[in-house]
Each structure stands twice: as structure tokens, then as C-alpha cells.
């Protein structure tokens, strides 16, 4: 069984980031790391292959400047190989353009199953997995809590507002994975060393048959027309707890007449 996992390499979320005033895109001049959301998909893929007793996990990523730091982390967890799409023309690419690139890269692997996070921790559009599924002509299930493969069918528990749904989906299919549902493994020292020599196939958009006009700002079909500071919410009273802070909270709640 061949599983492809979409992984995003993002700036450290602890850094608040900034917009490039010229391109109005997020600055990505810092070191990129594996999006924690994607580590759940990688873990789930590794477990599915382990359970099946055969198969491999392949990564697909799109990142500027040939960045592979995040990919190496996922390779160190146990993925076998990776495809990185890196191209100057990709700067400013929106969710739809990203999906077109990822779908083209994934199609080369002809996977049985494609996994992705439900959304990235930086862009938060939460639409790329379904776009990829549509472009590849695949059935899809989003917000998976668990996945089991049985006789060519994915059995998925899909998180819902009220609980969860059992969903069955024949392979090949795309499933997006909710964060927190498995414990991503820490790469071992052996895994980290092995990852250094695992194959990362770096390709440009021309290699995928994608025209530069279909991606980047030119292909976005949208335009940022203004960027402005939002009205700030004023900070209120701040007190130090000296053993009686609970009393101030109670009186505050009483003032609001919610008790």
C-alpha cells in the first residue's frame, strides 16, 4: 500500500510573522519547520503501513527556496521518500494554486491513499485537501479521528459537531486528519541519521506540466486591496494573585450580573 502525505513546511508558529509589504504575502525568510498538524498524518500513514505489513509512505510538499528542513523531520519519523515542489513562480500562490501543484505531484506516485492535515497552522484556509481530491477525481473524507484499511476500503471515523460518523470509502481516496488523534513519534537518532540520505525529489512546476500563469499571484484570481491595523481591544485591570485573586474575580462576575 502506497500512502502519500501532504506536508507543509511553515515558519515557527511561536514567531508572530509579518507580511511582506511589497508582495503582501507572509514573509518566509526564517527557517521552516514541519507543521505540527501534518505530523499526525505522517504518524497515521506510518501506522497504516505497519498494520498492512507492506507498503511505503511518501511525502509531498511545496516550499520556496528548496526548503527541506520540515521534510527531513517527517523522513526521520519513518517516511521513505519525498517530492518537493520549489519554484520562483510559486510565490504568492493561493490555496487553489497550491492544490493544483500538490495534485500534480501526487499523481506521479499513483497512491492508494492520500493523507493531509485538516488545515495548516499558518494559512488556515482549510480547503486544500478537498481541492486536491477534486483535482485528482478522488472521494474524500475530512476530519478523520481514525482510519482503518480493510480489503481496499478505508473505514474512517469522522469527527462531527455532535460526535462522529462512521464513513466507508473505497481506495484510492483522500482523507484529512484531525490533530491530536494519534501520538506522533519522536524521530530516533537512527531515524534522523537515516533521513539525511533518503531521497528528496526536487521538481519545478514545468516538471509537473503546470504553467507559471496558473500559480503565484497571477494565477490567484484574487487581489488584496487593503491591509490595515485592526481596532485594538483595550487591556483592562491586571492584578497579582496574593492569595485573594479569586475574590476579585467573584466581584467582577457579580458586577457583570452573570452570577
Work out how close the CB of 247 gets to another protein at its nearest, in angstroms, rounded to a whole number.
7
Work out how close the CB of 257 gets to another protein at its nearest, in angstroms, rounded to a whole number.
9
CA nearest to 115, candidates 53, 206, 44: 44
State how far the alpha carbon of 30 is from the alpha carbons of 11, 16, 89, in Å.
Answer: 6, 12, 19
Residue 138 touches another protein, criterion: CB under 8 A:
yes
Work out how close the CB of 84 gets to another protein at its nearest, in angstroms, rounded to a whole number.
23
Q: Which of 23, 30, 51, 160 binds another protein (CB under 8 A)?
A: 160
3-state DSSP assignment of residue 1: coil
Q: Which is nearer to another protein, 111 or 195 (CB)?
A: 111
Q: Which is nearer to another protein, 170 or 199 (CB)?
A: 170
CA nearest to 9, candidates 32, 29, 26, 41: 32
Show contacts with another protein in window 72-91 (CB under 8 A): none
Each residue 202-221 as x (binds another protein by CB under 8 A) or -, in order, gives ------------------xx
Residue 141 touches another protein, criterion: CB under 8 A:
yes
CA nearest to 25, candidates 122, 119, 91: 91
- Grid coordinates representing 192? 534522523
Angstrom distance (rounded) from CA 213 to CA 100: 12
CA nearest to 7, candidates 91, 90, 98, 140: 98
Residue 151 touches another protein, criterion: CB under 8 A:
no
Answer whether 95's CB lies under 8 Å from 123's CB: yes
Q: Which of 22, 54, 110, 229 binds another protein (CB under 8 A)?
A: 229
Q: Which is nearer to another protein, 197 or 232 (CB)?
A: 232
Of 10-18, 65-73, 79-87, 187-195, the segment contacting another protein by CB under 8 A is 10-18
Q: Which is nearer to another protein, 13 or 69 (CB)?
A: 13
Residue 167 touches another protein, criterion: CB under 8 A:
yes
22 alpha-carbon distance from chain centroid: 26
Angstrom distance (rounded) from CA 238 to CA 121: 30
- Grid coordinates representing 174? 483522500
Show contacts with another protein in window 105-124 (CB under 8 A): 118-119, 121, 124
Residue 241 touches another protein, criterion: CB under 8 A:
yes
Residue 256 touches another protein, criterion: CB under 8 A:
yes
Amino acid at each position: 500500500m502506497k500512502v502519500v502525505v501532504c506536508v507543509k513546511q511553515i515558519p515557527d508558529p511561536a514567531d508572530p510573522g509579518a507580511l511582506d509589504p511589497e508582495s503582501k504575502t507572509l514573509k518566509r525568510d526564517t527557517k521552516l519547520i514541519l507543521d505540527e498538524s501534518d505530523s499526525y498524518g505522517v504518524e497515521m500513514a506510518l501506522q497504516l503501513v505497519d498494520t498492512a505489513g507492506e507498503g511505503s509512505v511518501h511525502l509531498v510538499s511545496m516550499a520556496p527556496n528548496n526548503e527541506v528542513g520540515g521534510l527531513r523531520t517527517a523522513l526521520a519519523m519513518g517516511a521513505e521518500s519525498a517530492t518537493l515542489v520549489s519554484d520562483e513562480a510559486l510565490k504568492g500562490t493561493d490555496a487553489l494554486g497550491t492544490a493544483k501543484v500538490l495534485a500534480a505531484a501526487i499523481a506521479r506516485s499513483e497512491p492508494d491513499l492520500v493523507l493531509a492535515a485538516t488545515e495548516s497552522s499558518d494559512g488556515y484556509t482549510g480547503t486544500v485537501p478537498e481541492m486536491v481530491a477534486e483535482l485528482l477525481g478522488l472521494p474524500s473524507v475530512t476530519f478523520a479521528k481514525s482510519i482503518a484499511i480493510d480489503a481496499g476500503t478505508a473505514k474512517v471515523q469522522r469527527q462531527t459537531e455532535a460526535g462522529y460518523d462512521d464513513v466507508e470509502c473505497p481506495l484510492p481516496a483522500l482523507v484529512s486528519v484531525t490533530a491530536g488523534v494519534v501520538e506522533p513519534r519522536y524521530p530516533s537518532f537512527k531515524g534522523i541519521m537515516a533521513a539525511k540520505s533518503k531521497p528528496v525529489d526536487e521538481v519545478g512546476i514545468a516538471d509537473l506540466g503546470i504553467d507559471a500563469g496558473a500559480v503565484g499571484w497571477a494565477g490567484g484570481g484574487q487581489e488584496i486591496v487593503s491591509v490595515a491595523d485592526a481596532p485594538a481591544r483595550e487591556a483592562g485591570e491586571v492584578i497579582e494573585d496574593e492569595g485573594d485573586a479569586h475574590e476579585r474575580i467573584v466581584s467582577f462576575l457579580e458586577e457583570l450580573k452573570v452570577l
